[in-house]
């Protein structure tokens, strides 16, 4: 059995020793030490609130704040010494504070506070700060896509449905589609940051504060926008964790689709783009290989983040009211998701800013059969119903295939008119990829003007 439990925050009730395996099973310091700064900040403001109540005098408050600063410096310089009995970041910091300023004064910092509202407060501060940083690098990622889109606005390529060549589009139109997904992620992130930024501090273990602490003061000083109005909810709500995990999962799914396209387009069979060496690896056996490992990892890590969401949802669904230890399972998937998303954004930014595209390959993959819809549209403009023109255009494609022509543009005027007499000499004007994309000027289309409008609108969203 392990040492006596008397020195722990909850040890007074217990006389027996705890199982060493239980100590390990119960401990969260190995991962929640990430929140050391949030924990120290929360304690600094909470003790200022106790000072307002007269429960800590000015000299004691000054000493406490001095000790908290020493502890923060130790963490930042990797000099903080963990000791047996440090269950979590809260226990570790309070134990160390007692060593620095004496246990008598340090023992007052927890007056009226529970680890239940303390950890909820720490997590919200930590998540708020991390999401704010993610917001900045996500905006930079989107900006990188937009800049590249503008630079390569004149490059055409096949657009695909069902992974089959469909219609010609601009390369920038494809990039803009990714940016559109990521801007939606960016907007959702701002909403989540606001909901995370609500204070649970000052409600004790579950029933409220016994000394009437000023929760509005605590919230304002800690930078919270609002206060959670029910003490039971304040200590047990982890909806914000679920939201962050869901957001991370959705974002990683978008990144995965982005990566999948680029993996395909970087193959020798397509040859549309080439990753820089910084984001590729070689084969241990085949010296000619250049593998898109960065993109494959982006695709693979989306499953990791989703797994964290699914796991915590299952833990969270049966937790009864108020705080239960099950909620400790929130931190590892949360921290892992935040780290994974941050690294993924940075890697994706590096990929998009350094890769090379092969304009000749992209435009060389365009084939005249991709203009079959344009051929149908040609007759629509002459007053023929689209359902009829669709059939007529299909007949032209079939005839070109039967004659083994390289494309429908190789049909003669006699052959066109044999299918439908409404074809005129101007039908040849249809067979231009540039003309095809430039006809699509409506909002969201692939014409140059339409793509530029998309990019400006996206830029505006992240510049607000």
Q: Is the pLDDT of residue 38 over 80?
A: yes
Q: Which of 194, 226, 283, 321 is catalytic?
A: 283
Residues forming a β-bridge with 21: none
Q: Which of 243, 248, 246, 351 is nearest to 297 (CA)?
A: 351
Q: Is the pLDDT of residue 224 over 80?
A: yes
What pLDDT, on a 0 to 100 scale, did the predictor assign at position 281? 78
Least trusted range by pLDDT, from 21-25, 163-167, 368-372: 21-25
Query: How many CB atoms lie under 10 A from the CB of residue 326?
Result: 16
Q: Is the pLDDT of residue 7 over 70?
A: no
What pLDDT, on a 0 to 100 scale, did the predictor assign at position 34? 94
Q: Is the pLDDT of residue 37 over 90?
A: yes
Convert the pLDDT of each residue in 49-91 to its tens digit: 999 999 999 999 999 999 999 999 999 999 999 998 898 999 9
Q: Is the pLDDT of residue 98 over 60?
A: yes
Give me the mean pLDDT over the 340-363 stretch. 97
Give me the mean pLDDT over the 353-371 stretch. 96
**Alpha-carbon gap, residue 405 to 411, rounded angstroms:** 8
Q: Which of 48, 67, 54, 70 is nearest to 106 (CA)?
A: 67
Contact between residue 179 and residue 145 where contact means Cβ atoms under 8 Å apart: yes
Percent of the chain at pLDDT > 70 equals: 93
What pLDDT, on a 0 to 100 scale, did the predictor assign at position 84? 87
Least trusted range by pLDDT, from 61-70, 318-327, 449-458: 318-327
Supply φ then ψ for residue 168, to 5 degrees. -70, 140
What pLDDT, on a 0 to 100 scale, did the predictor assign at position 3? 45
Helices 171-196, 448-463: crossing angle, 10 deg rounding: 20
110 catalytic, yes or no?
no
**Where does the pLDDT of residue 464 fall: very low under 50, low under 70, confident under 90, or very high at 90 and above?**
confident
Convert the pLDDT of each residue in 266-280 to its tens digit: 999 999 999 998 998
Residues forming a β-bridge with 165: 160
Q: Is the pLDDT of residue 35 over 50?
A: yes
Question: What residues have CB less than 8 Å from 276, skipping those under 6 apart?
Answer: 351, 354, 355, 356
283 catalytic, yes or no?
yes
What pLDDT, on a 0 to 100 scale, did the predictor assign at position 423? 94
> Got the DSSP string for 134-160?
HHHHHHHHHHHHHHHHHHTTT-EEEEE
Give me the mean pLDDT over the 373-396 stretch. 94
What pLDDT, on a 0 to 100 scale, did the predictor assign at position 154? 98
**Alpha-carbon gap, residue 257 to 263, rounded angstroms:** 10
What pLDDT, on a 0 to 100 scale, did the predictor assign at position 290? 80
Convert the pLDDT of each residue in 136-194 to its tens digit: 999 999 999 999 999 999 999 999 999 999 999 999 999 999 999 999 999 999 999 99
What pLDDT, on a 0 to 100 scale, did the predictor assign at position 2? 42
**Alpha-carbon gap, residue 55 to 202, rounded angstroms:** 14
What pLDDT, on a 0 to 100 scale, did the predictor assign at position 23? 67
Question: Domains of the chain, with CATH numbers?
Answer: 11-106 (1.10.275.10), 115-364 (1.20.200.10), 368-431 (1.10.40.30)
Convert the pLDDT of each residue in 104-113 to its tens digit: 999 999 999 9
**Alpha-carbon gap, residue 20 to 375, rounded angstroms:** 77
Q: Is the pLDDT of residue 9 over 80?
A: no
Q: Which of 162, 284, 318, 463 is catalytic?
A: 162
Convert the pLDDT of each residue in 246-296 to its tens digit: 999 999 999 999 999 999 999 999 999 999 989 987 666 676 668 899 999
Q: Is the pLDDT of residue 4 over 50?
A: no
Q: Is the pLDDT of residue 22 over 90?
A: no
**Alpha-carbon gap, residue 370 to 164, rounded angstroms:** 10
């Amino acid at each position: 059995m392990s040492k006596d439990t008397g020195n722990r925050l909850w040890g007074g009730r217990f006389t027996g020793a705890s199982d060493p395996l239980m100590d390990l099973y119960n401990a969260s310091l190995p991962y929640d030490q990430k929140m050391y700064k949030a924990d120290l900040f929360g304690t600094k403001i909470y003790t200022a609130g106790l000072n307002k109540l007269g429960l800590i005098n000015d000299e004691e408050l000054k000493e406490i704040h001095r000790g908290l600063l020493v502890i923060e410096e130790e963490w930042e310089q990797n000099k903080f010494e963990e000791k047996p009995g440090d269950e979590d970041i809260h226990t570790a910091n309070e134990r160390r504070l007692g060593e620095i300023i004496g246990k008598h004064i340090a023992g007052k910092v927890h007056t009226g506070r529970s680890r239940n509202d303390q950890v909820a407060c720490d997590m919200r501060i930590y998540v708020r700060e991390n999401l704010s940083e993610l917001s900045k690098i996500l905006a930079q990622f989107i900006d990188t896509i937009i800049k590249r889109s503008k630079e390569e606005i004149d490059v055409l390529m096949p657009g695909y449905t069902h992974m089959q060549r469909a219609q010609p589009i601009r390369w920038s139109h494809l990039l803009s589609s990714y940016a559109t997904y990521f801007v939606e992620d960016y907007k959702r992130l701002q909403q989540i940051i606001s909901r995370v930024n609500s204070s649970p501090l000052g409600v004790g273990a579950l029933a409220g504060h016994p000394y009437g602490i000023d929760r509005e003061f605590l919230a304002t000083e800690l930078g919270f926008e609002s206060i959670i109005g029910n003490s039971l909810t304040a200590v047990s709500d982890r909806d914000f964790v679920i939201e962050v995990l869901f957001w991370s999962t959705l974002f990683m799914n978008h990144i995965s689709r982005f990566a999948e396209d680029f993996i395909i387009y970087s193959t020798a069979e397509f040859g549309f783009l080439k990753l820089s060496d910084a984001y590729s690896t070689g084969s241990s056996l085949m010296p000619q290989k250049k593998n898109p490992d960065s993109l494959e990892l982006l695709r693979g890590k989306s499953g990791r983040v989703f797994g964290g969401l699914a796991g915590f949802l299952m833990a969270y669904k049966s937790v009864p009211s108020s705080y239960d230890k099950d909620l400790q399972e929130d931190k590892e998937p949360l921290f892992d998701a935040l780290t994974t998303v941050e690294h993924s954004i940075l890697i994706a930014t590096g990929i998009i800013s350094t890769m090379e595209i092969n304009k000749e390959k992209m435009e060389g993959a365009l084939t005249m059969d991709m203009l079959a819809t344009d051929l149908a549209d040609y007759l629509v403009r002459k007053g023929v119903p689209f359902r009829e023109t669709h059939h007529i255009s299909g007949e032209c494609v079939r005839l070109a295939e039967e004659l083994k022509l390289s494309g429908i543009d190789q049909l003669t005027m006699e052959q066109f008119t044999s299918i439908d007499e409404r074809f005129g000499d101007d039908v040849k004007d249809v067979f231009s990829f540039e003309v095809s994309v430039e006809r699509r000027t409506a909002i969201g289309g692939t014409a140059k003007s339409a793509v530029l409008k998309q990019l400006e609108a996206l830029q505006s969203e992240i510049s607000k």
